[in-house]
């Protein structure tokens, strides 16, 4: 839309052993070549599988990304992984501020901002996630919440090359529930307007994905919504056939 190339991104979360690389191989062999002219495809496996997924997609346009990073390039941060380390493995994207990180690892908007800067420093494209909880939606605070998350999280000078936004209502993740197309359109329009205030005309180049219970059966309808530039897919990205069905919504 408006010249933005759609992106369909899979987030495997904490799922997958070495044998799961076969899912990436199946996605690779199942993708119609014509689709890859139309849509960018990204898989974010656990970091333990990044190397082998990069090898499995070598020579194909399928990108591999991380699910999280530490903001600093290196140091005494036991168990953490930096953007430089992800890039060194061949990752080209990283998810930043997923709602599960915010909920279970107490990530703040300021922390998301620092991580997005870390991603840019290492040449990764950061996928910054925003979204309201069920209570926030019921209280009519959705737009206030996601606009504030965006305003704090997105670094100054963000570009279409280094930044993607994902709108993921927390109550729609892994639940089978989705907002109506009209509700998604309202949030995405508001996010794009806010991006314009933050970074000016470059806002039109930044892709805004929708995430939350995207499945092959609803992908076409969700992807057709104005200002929706692709999908961030959790559960359905673990099954090659389902993930391919969602990418196929752009056929
Ligand atoms: C996600 O975790 O980013 C997500 C959208 O999950 P699901 O597709 O399973 O709702």
Cα 239 to middle of ligand 1, angstroms: 13
Kindly report, residue by residue over 174-222, the tens digit of the pLDDT.
999 999 999 999 999 999 999 999 999 999 999 999 999 999 999 999 9
Annotated binding site: 11-13, 174, 213, 234-235
Kindly report, residue by residue over 101-113, the tens digit of the pLDDT.
999 999 999 999 9
Task: Say yes or no: domain 7-250 is CATH 3.30.470.10.
Answer: no
Kindly report, residue by residue over 127-163, the tens digit of the pLDDT.
999 999 999 999 999 999 999 999 999 999 999 999 9
- Reported confidence tier of residue 22, pLDDT bands at 50, 70, 90: very high
| Site to substitute for ligand 1 among 174, 215, 219, 247, most atoms within 8 A of C-beta | 174
Ligand 1 neighbour 234 (Cβ under 6 A) = yes
Q: Which atom in ligand 1 lies closest to the alpha carbon of residue 235? A: 9
ipTM score: 0.97
- Residue 251 is predicted with a pLDDT of 82
Q: Where are the domains of the chain?
A: 7-250
- Residue 36 is predicted with a pLDDT of 86
Active-site residue flag, 168:
yes
**Alpha-carbon gap, residue 64 to 56, rounded angstroms:** 10
Q: Tell me how far the alpha carbon of residue 45 is from its chain's centroid.
A: 12
pTM above 0.95, yes or no: yes
Cα 217 to middle of ligand 1, angstroms: 15
Which protein residue's CA is at the shortest distance from atom 5 of ligand 1? Answer: 212
- Of 30, 42, 52, 126, nearest to 83 (Cα)? 126
**Alpha-carbon gap, residue 233 to 212, rounded angstroms:** 7
Kindly report, residue by residue over 75-89, the tens digit of the pLDDT.
999 999 999 999 999
Q: Which atom in ligand 1 lies closest to the alpha carbon of residue 129? A: 3
Q: Average model confidence (pLDDT) for the chain?
A: 97
Active-site residue flag, 139:
no
- Residue 1 is predicted with a pLDDT of 83
Q: Tell me the β-bridge partners of 87.
A: none
């Amino acid at each position: 839309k408006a010249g933005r190339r759609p992106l369909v991104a899979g987030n495997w979360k904490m799922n997958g052993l070495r044998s799961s690389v076969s899912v990436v191989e199946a996605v690779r062999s199942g993708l119609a070549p014509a689709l890859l002219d139309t849509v960018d495809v990204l898989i974010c496996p656990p970091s333990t599988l990044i190397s082998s997924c990069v090898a499995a997609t070598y020579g194909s346009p399928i990108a591999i990304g991380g699910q999280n990073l530490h903001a600093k390039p290196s140091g005494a941060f036991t168990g953490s992984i930096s953007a430089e380390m992800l890039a060194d493995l061949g990752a080209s994207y990283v998810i930043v501020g997923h709602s599960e990180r915010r909920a279970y690892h107490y990530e703040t908007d300021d922390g998301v901002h620092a991580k997005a800067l870390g991603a840019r420093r290492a040449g990764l494209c950061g996928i910054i996630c925003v979204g309201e909880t069920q209570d926030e939606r019921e209280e009519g605070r959705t737009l206030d919440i996601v606009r504030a998350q965006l305003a704090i999280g997105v670094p100054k000078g963000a570009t279409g090359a280094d930044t993607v936004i994902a709108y993921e209502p927390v109550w729609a993740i892994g639940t089978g529930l989705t907002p109506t197309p009209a509700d998604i359109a309202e949030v995405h329009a508001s996010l794009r307007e806010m991006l314009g205030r933050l970074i000016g005309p470059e806002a039109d180049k930044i892709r805004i994905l929708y995430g939350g219970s995207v499945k092959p059966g609803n992908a076409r309808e969700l992807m057709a919504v104005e200002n929706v530039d692709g999908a961030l897919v959790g559960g359905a990205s673990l099954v090659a056939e389902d993930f391919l069905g969602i990418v196929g919504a752009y056929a």
